Structure 1
């Protein structure tokens, strides 16, 4: 079986892919923005050139005469000079009716202007296909000093010239994109080194198991510490009562301790396929709940089958859910935590942990499972890890995690057959 990629390699590939995607998006944006800028520059250039020509006294005088040949002789060299100096592809000076007086192709002089002539003497910019092909052009009215319309001037740049300008600017866009991708690749490589320094070449499943094991040891340790602390207090009290000669009261304390523990032991041992590790966890959490003044309730149905989780993962899932429930219930009126295990309709295992806390806002019902997100204070131990780990473990085993309100209840559904990890 092929060896799974290490978590460091996965982090590298994920960040590198993100850098490439961002690079492609940035390149696309820069190309579109450059194209828009070149188009806008062409429109401005044609508008400025056409307006300058239309205001020329030489053009006005030539167009007021009825001699088109003389007007052409006077204005054609002028128009060609403007085309060369302004970087345009054509300048067409025409009569009021649209008859060409000038044109870069002298064979077109005397023909009709191909383009839109406004019905009133106003400037108009458009993209139109004329004798030189598709072009961006601006047509401007030529008026005499008395305001009378004497002709039109059109200046234009072909789309081919615009495309050439765009191609000349593309290398800059590609250079910017390459720099961004390079920075992203460097960041991915750095993240890989840092991750490898922390996790070595371990695959994600192994890292997750390590976190699960740590969480299991932590929650078991806390539970056993609470249980030891409670029993120690009761034993010290019983010893003190015996020294005072109050034997019956000492017996009552010890009997109550035994009775409370035995009730939970009976539920755990009554389960035919029970997990002793989970039983130990529940016993310890019972002491922890009492220590925090929380009403602790456990309900385990005897026919609950074994889940698909390992003992370590079972403790990690159950322990984190109970810890969250206790944190939520602590300080609330009638603080209460209830744990229930029973068979699912499909033959699996259902684990429910409810609490009397203030509840989870609906908008946060999914975010609470994100790694790093927590409603606890920023300095809380394990902040943002517990529920993310719970979901990871449960989903890897083929189960589901749901949360509901009134009261707040986390419901874990697991298959009954243990699934091997590959």
Structure 2
């Protein structure tokens, strides 16, 4: 049954028992101390009374008379009343009483120890007499020669002392009751707080629950990161560490030692999302090499249904899914679609040209037909030869050829200029297609939406140190305040009507270009040509360094 108790109940019972034991111990100590002090105070008071009477010359003078009781009995009764003692007995050295609260006891022998007093010492003892047990002090009465002529016993009954002790015990008991009350109240308040925080669960249940949550945390395939209200990543699982480039999470780490978001190796929109704490649903965020889908919600403590309090927020919980492979497949599919559209455009263009040649032949203008076919072949072959000689990559050449045909179909002139002949060996073709394909798509879209003459220029410079792509267009350019925004995932300057790829394709291309450039350790710059260029639109300049071979690393 004890194992089913909540932490609040256990702490309440333990605290109450502790206070009870502590009160009992200190109460017992206080009782003993009060009793000892009461007896000590009574002894000191009796000593003072007995000594004062023994030093009174009246007692020494009366002791030498034939009937000492006649003078000493009234005196002893008066002092007894004034000093609030129970009895004062003045006696002869042979124990014969001269005074007593009960007159019938006068002349009888004193009951108790007198030997030390006969030797001139004043002492205190607790002994039983005619009035019952009492605390008494016996003092000698000495003459000028130091001889003991009489003895004085001043006492107070134990019953009177115990009454005084009982009064003190009442105060001690009252204090103990007050302490117990406030201890009970504090335990009850603390128990309510703990019951609300732990939801009435016991430590064994919490330990089991923590083990379950820890297992779930590290077994799910999604990344999970918990950020508190101070901007610290208090907990994350192994998948989140892999996706975000973090150190493996230490479950034994104190929350105070959790790293701040500013110390983690990621930034941009993802860090801004975590720092804001706002809810998010299937948002796309890019890191250096990954495309992540992020959901975020506040971590809110549950409250009773009837509670009107605003539930406390402990931070946020974010789940992270890796979409890199899906986007990679989508990019490949988009590349295939681009090449397919290019082939379709080329087929349409060649069909038109073939009809032109056939028509010239039917009209008997063979020289013109031959000249037209030869010129068209030379232009296509020249473009192919230049691309192959420069980048030495058939896929890239096919991409540029297709984009050229697509641009021509949309009324845009694509001018390609190449230099260098070092090729693009060592660079991932998929990344190169992503970079160049998206840049040309945006440039053709911008030029097609602008005024004539509609032109796009592509400069390719392949050197041993790397390759550079420069794409210019004759469009309206990019707003100076939006140059940084165009690289964000989901940002687009085109409406659905202006974008031939539809709403799904907007705001993705340049973000993927930036990610691919970063992955290849390259750089990209964006600028507006304005009056400094022949086209007047936007310019994208990408520099991709040649990868270092294993031999060079060694």
TM-score tier by shorter-chain length is 0.5 to 0.7
RMSD: 3.3
Aligned ranges 1:35-114 → 2 under 5 Å: none
Aligned ranges 1:139-158 → 2 under 5 Å: none
Aligned ranges 1:219-230 → 2 under 5 Å: 219-230=338-349
Distance in structure 2 (CA, Å) of the matches to 1:352 and 1:18? 45
Aligned counterpart for 1:355 among listed residues 454, 473, 489: 473
Give the deviation of 1:390 after TM superposition: 0.6
SS in 1 for 2:461: strand
Give the deviation of 1:318 after TM superposition: 0.7
Aligned ranges 1:277-292 → 2 under 5 Å: 277-292=395-410
> CA 1:318–1:291 in structure 2 vs 1: closer, same or farther (change >3 Å)?
same
Q: Does 1:416 align with 2:546?
A: yes
Give the deviation of 1:402 after TM superposition: 0.8
SS in 2 for 1:384: coil
Distance in structure 2 (CA, Å) of the matches to 1:278 and 1:214? 16
Give the deviation of 1:322 after TM superposition: 0.5
TM-score by length of 1: 0.52
TM-superposition CA deviations, 1:155-181 (whole Å, max 9, x none): xxxxxxxxxxxxxxxx99894225xx5
Indicate conservation of the 8 Å contact 1:304/1:343, yes or no.
yes
Distance in structure 1 (CA, Å) of the matches to 2:334 and 2:511? 12
SS in 1 for 2:472: strand
Aligned counterpart for 2:521 among listed residues 394, 398, 401: 398
TM-superposition CA deviations, 1:2-42 (whole Å, max 9, x none): xxx999724x43xx438884999xxxxxxxxxxxxxxxxxx
Distance in structure 2 (CA, Å) of the matches to 1:401 and 1:215? 22
Distance in structure 2 (CA, Å) of the matches to 1:19 and 1:308? 46
> CA 1:320–1:246 in structure 2 vs 1: closer, same or farther (change >3 Å)?
same
Specify which structure has the bigger relative contact order, considering alpha-carbon pairs within 8 angstroms and separated by 6 or more residues. Answer: 1
Indicate conservation of the 8 Å contact 2:393/2:423, yes or no.
no
TM-superposition CA deviations, 1:258-303 (whole Å, max 9, x none): 01101102212322x5111111111112212222222221111133
Q: Does 1:176 align with 2:294?
A: no
Aligned to 2:387: 268
TM-score by length of 2: 0.41
Q: For structure 1, which runs of at least 5 residues remain unmatched after alignment? A: 25-170, 196-202
Q: Does 1:213 align with 2:343?
A: no
Q: Which moved more, 1:235-244 or 1:365-374?
A: 235-244
Aligned ranges 1:252-267 → 2 under 5 Å: 252-267=371-386
Distance in structure 2 (CA, Å) of the matches to 1:378 and 1:22? 40
Q: Does 1:311 align with 2:429?
A: yes
Distance in structure 2 (CA, Å) of the matches to 1:365 and 1:419? 35
Indicate conservation of the 8 Å contact 2:420/2:462, yes or no.
no
Give the deviation of 1:338 after TM superposition: 0.5
> CA 1:308–1:363 in structure 2 vs 1: closer, same or farther (change >3 Å)?
farther
Distance in structure 2 (CA, Å) of the matches to 1:342 and 1:7? 47
Distance in structure 2 (CA, Å) of the matches to 1:209 and 1:419? 25
> CA 1:281–1:19 in structure 2 vs 1: closer, same or farther (change >3 Å)?
farther
Q: Does 1:326 align with 2:536?
A: no
Indicate conservation of the 8 Å contact 1:223/1:287, yes or no.
yes
Give the deviation of 1:219 after TM superposition: 2.1
Aligned counterpart for 1:9 among listed residues 202, 222, 247: 222
Give the deviation of 1:216 after TM superposition: 1.8
TM-superposition CA deviations, 1:104-149 (whole Å, max 9, x none): xxxxxxxxxxxxxxxxxxxxxxxxxxxxxxxxxxxxxxxxxxxxxx
What number of residue pairs does the alignment pair up?
A: 248
> CA 1:309–1:214 in structure 2 vs 1: closer, same or farther (change >3 Å)?
farther
- 4+ residue runs over 3 A deviation: 5-8, 16-24, 171-175
Distance in structure 2 (CA, Å) of the matches to 1:308 and 1:342? 16
Distance in structure 1 (CA, Å) of the matches to 2:376 and 2:521? 39
SS in 2 for 1:17: strand
Q: For structure 2, which runs of at least 5 residues remain unmatched after alignment? A: 1-217, 235-306, 530-535
Distance in structure 1 (CA, Å) of the matches to 2:369 and 2:511? 45
